[in-house]
Structure 1
Amino acid sequence: MQHWKKIANLKNVVPKVKIFLWRLLSKTLPIAQNLNNRISAISPMCQRCNEENEFETHVFFFCPGSRAVWFGSQLMLRVHELSLDIIQAFNQITEGLDQHGMAILAYTLWELWKGRNDVVMQHQQFDPGIIRKKVTSWIMQGEDEAQTQQSPCQQEEQGRYEVRDDEWQVLIDGSWDVSERAGTAAVFYQNRQVHYFAYNHHEAQDPFHEEALACLEALRHITSLQVRGQTQQICINTDCSKLVDAILEEQCDNLSSWRSMPVVHQLIQKFMQWGPTIRIRKVQRQAVKPAHVFSNFARRAKCAREMAPVQATTFSAFGLCTMLDSDVFLSV
């Protein structure tokens, strides 16, 4: 039962990954060997290497692709010394690991499983380098969220969202429903003052597609600001980590939506053209709540508004969401 306690005590690891670990150690994941035990017509062979049957420790440790991931991991595992049983292997690895090491292990296993599924279900190429980059992104995100749980005084001292007075902050968000209607919105502020907002209605294929459209729409408005000579540095804030990863890694191969590939490709090209002038980062959901309100409005009302100036209202960058209780965004 020791392994269950280790999972329950994990810090800075999202719940879905904890559930995944519970399924892994319960041996209930749809791995080829497990499926073959129930349906003999299903081949137990590993589809990544075609060298041996696919069982838990093979998927996560012994398959050549998985070995390559662990070879470059901070944990420096000696995979060849691990037990063939997944529970025993898990206990071997976690013996003496601190919370940081446990988080690395959890997210590496999670990304290995996603990478394996991409190969089996979507016939994509397994890339150990991308797996390691995604794990690093998870760890950095967990550390950032842990920082935001400090007291309000500590948050203000350290700059909760790294707000810089000389930089345009752009909050973007999108809203989508099953009828494929979508709304996008962007809120622009600088030097702790809101200056503009914009929203628009689109047709999007899925939620990720509309998040990409929201970013593209924001860039179009940023171009307008550049023409007016008002921009210096720009930071785009979104709660969509997959969009941030795709842009920073400059690749469209592992998107959650193939329909969004043309839009994401345009975004990558624009970010490359603008270089250090612009950056994008993932923030918590609450940070983009003002943009979310507008995107919902645009989707439901099927309306569009170009860049609209608002009465510049001073506010605390650490309490941005409290502005939703006022009429500041409607004062055009």
Structure 2
Amino acid sequence: MMRSLVKRIWHCKGLLPKVRIFLWKVVRAILPVDQIFVKRMRKQQQGCPICGYHSEDVVHALFKCQQARCIWLSSSMGIRTDSLPENIVQLMGELTTAADDHVFTKLANILWCYWKDRCTQVYEGKTVKWHQVLAQASGLEKLMSLAQLTMSTPTIQGDEDITNSEYVCYVDGSWVNQFDQGAGMSYVLLSKTNRLIQYRMTAIQAFSPLHAEVLAVKAAVNAIKLGNFMPCIIFTDCRILQAVITGLETVDSVEWQVYRDMLDVLSLISGCQNVSCKFIQREGNLLADGLAKHAREKGVNMLGYTYPIM
């Protein structure tokens, strides 16, 4: 069973590489939990730092802890973990044997997001909220499905600037109503070989669709500048924004609520070398568009980086 589980982990196309590696550590029972510290580092047994249970192994940390039980029961799969086997290989086999790739991916993403947030709670004291864990897992699933769709579309060609650029960044904002559903923004930073450098999707407060787009570009330029990801071309499907950045329109042409953030964007871009902005049709911006909508609808705040999409 171990061999079949490992084989499925490495061949599942819907998982980010970091999730694959994490899942491999899960089935091998080598995550840094209390039992591992006691066995390998000869530390005194501390028990579960979340619920206080006397012994913390991988099964307890990810499935049997009170906090984990709440998350699994609240998920769309509605799993009751109290009756699952105590052996991690048997447990994973029971959950995944009859599951298709979609369910397998969902389960893996929930495991990863919960473990990440659990570590944040243990080492930084931040409270884990079940709905945030499930929203983040849904965001990872959305990212991969959109990434596969985007990578199947032809790349933009025929522009010398694009050919010479080392990085490309797709940005988008999603806005419905500032009083009802708020807004979301996202950016996806890729190398010219389609390697994912960084992505972000965040629920925001924006006055208009243009404001959401401007905030997305502002966040993207900050990330580009901080990581020195240049030369870089930023793609936006907002013509007004692209026109202001490239000087075809004056900053006075934007809404007054957006004016200050627009000035910040222009200042940031002027302080970067080899950062330009180009317009792209919505059909070519599906990845950023989908993530921005997901952030708005689910209230997600996620930042990921340095992992290849495919």
Place the TM-score, normalised by the shorter chain, in its bin.
Answer: 0.5 to 0.7
Offset of residue 47 of structure 1:
0.3
Residue matched to 1:100 = 102
State the AA in 2 paired with 1:121: Y
Question: 2:148, 2:125 → 1: CA distance?
Answer: 36
1:226 aligns to what SS in structure 2?
A: coil
Residue matched to 1:37 = 39
2:244 aligns to what SS in structure 1?
A: strand
Offset of residue 197 of structure 1:
1.7
**Pair 1:227 & 2:256 matched:** yes
TM-score (structure 2 length as normaliser) = 0.58
Residue matched to 1:175 = 224
Which residue of 195, 200, 207 maps to 2:243?
Answer: 195
Question: 2:115, 2:243 → 1: CA distance?
Answer: 44
* Uncovered stretches (5+) of structure 1, i.e. residues with no partner: 154-159, 199-220, 232-266, 268-290, 302-307, 321-332
Evaluate the alpha carbon distance shift between residue 143 and residue 44 of structure 1 in structure 2; reply closer, same or farther with a 3 A threshold. same
State the AA in 2 paired with 1:149: M
Whether the aligned pair in 2 keeps the contact of 1:163 and 1:317 (CA below 8 Å) is no
1:67-102 Cα shifts (integer Å, max 9, x gaps): 000011122223123111111111110011111101
Residue matched to 1:50 = 52
Question: 1:34, 1:17 → 2: CA distance?
Answer: 21
1:26-63 Cα shifts (integer Å, max 9, x gaps): 22211111011123334340000002311010011100
Residue matched to 1:134 = 136
1:283-320 Cα shifts (integer Å, max 9, x gaps): xxxxxxxx9xx85x73569xxxxxx9x9xx87656568
1:156-195 Cα shifts (integer Å, max 9, x gaps): xxxx99999x9645433233559x9xxx998876348830
Whether the aligned pair in 1 keeps the contact of 2:113 and 2:136 (CA below 8 Å) is yes
Whether the aligned pair in 1 keeps the contact of 2:118 and 2:128 (CA below 8 Å) is yes
Question: 2:235, 2:172 → 1: CA distance?
Answer: 17
Residue matched to 1:16 = 18
Identity of aligned residues (%): 20
1:179-220 Cα shifts (integer Å, max 9, x gaps): x9xxx998876348830228xxxxxxxxxxxxxxxxxxxxxx
State the AA in 2 paired with 1:63: C
Evaluate the alpha carbon distance shift between residue 190 and residue 137 of structure 1 in structure 2; reply closer, same or farther with a 3 A threshold. closer
State the AA in 1 paired with 2:244: Y
Question: 2:15, 2:256 → 1: CA distance?
Answer: 43
Evaluate the alpha carbon distance shift between residue 186 and residue 60 of structure 1 in structure 2; reply closer, same or farther with a 3 A threshold. same
TM-score (structure 1 length as normaliser) = 0.54
* Uncovered stretches (5+) of structure 2, i.e. residues with no partner: 156-169, 175-207, 286-310
Question: 1:187, 1:15 → 2: CA distance?
Answer: 26
Question: 1:29, 1:120 → 2: CA distance?
Answer: 14
Q: How does 1:108-187 map to 2 (within 5 A)?
A: 108-152=110-154, 168=210, 169-170=213-214, 171=217, 172-173=220-221, 174-176=223-225
Question: 1:314, 1:148 → 2: CA distance?
Answer: 17
Which sits farther off after the overlay, 10-19 or 188-197? Answer: 188-197
Offset of residue 22 of structure 1:
1.0
Whether the aligned pair in 2 keeps the contact of 1:94 and 1:102 (CA below 8 Å) is yes
Offset of residue 145 of structure 1:
1.7
Residue matched to 2:69 = 67
2:149 aligns to what SS in structure 1?
A: helix
Whether the aligned pair in 1 keeps the contact of 2:69 and 2:82 (CA below 8 Å) is no
Whether the aligned pair in 2 keeps the contact of 1:10 and 1:99 (CA below 8 Å) is yes
Q: CA-atom RMSD, angstroms?
A: 4.5
**Pair 1:298 & 2:291 matched:** no
Q: Which has the higher contact order (CA 8 A, sep 6+)?
A: 2
Question: 1:38, 1:107 → 2: CA distance?
Answer: 28
Whether the aligned pair in 1 keeps the contact of 2:235 and 2:279 (CA below 8 Å) is no
1:227-277 Cα shifts (integer Å, max 9, x gaps): 299x9xxxxxxxxxxxxxxxxxxxxxxxxxxxxxxxxxxx9xxxxxxxxxx
Question: 1:188, 1:3 → 2: CA distance?
Answer: 41
1:91 aligns to what SS in structure 2?
A: helix
Question: 1:314, 1:21 → 2: CA distance?
Answer: 39
Task: Give the aligned length.
Answer: 220
